[in-house]
Amino acid sequence: MKKMFDKTLQKKCKYCLFGTPIGYDGEIICKKRGIVHNDDLCRKYKYDPLKRIPRTPKISVNYSPEDFII
């Protein structure tokens, strides 16, 4: 849960509650400012954790037979 509300996350319109991606050249339709680039930011920014796509975890390929013994 802590990673979802990370304070060091860079503020961008693509994570904003008021922005919706239009899928063209990294542009966002903002309810407050109209069409903006996804890296823009304004005073009305409000973080929406559901818009953030988390990084995929790295899976190790170095397994031993002991890893599968119960």
Q: What is the pLDDT of residue 4?
A: 58
What CATH number corresponds to the domain at position 9?
A: 2.20.70
- pTM score: 0.62
Q: Is residue 59 part of a domain?
A: no
More confident residue, 54 or 34: 34
Q: What is the torsional sign of CA 11, 36, 28, 46?
A: positive
Q: What is the four-CA torsion angle of 32, 17, 42, 52, rounded to 10 degrees?
A: -140
Show the domain range for 20.
1-50
Q: What is the pLDDT of residue 58?
A: 81
* Domain count for the chain: 1
Q: What is the pLDDT of residue 49?
A: 86
Q: Is residue 67 part of a domain?
A: no
Q: Is residue 58 part of a domain?
A: no
Query: Three-class SS of residue 40?
Result: coil
Residue 2's pLDDT band (cuts 50, 70, 90):
low
Mean pLDDT taken over the chain: 83
Q: Is residue 29 part of a domain?
A: yes
Q: Cα-flanking dihedrals φ and ψ of residue 25, to 5°?
A: 55, 35
Q: What is the torsional sign of CA 13, 26, 9, 59?
A: positive
- 35-61 pLDDT, tens digit per residue, is 998 888 889 999 888 888 877 888 778
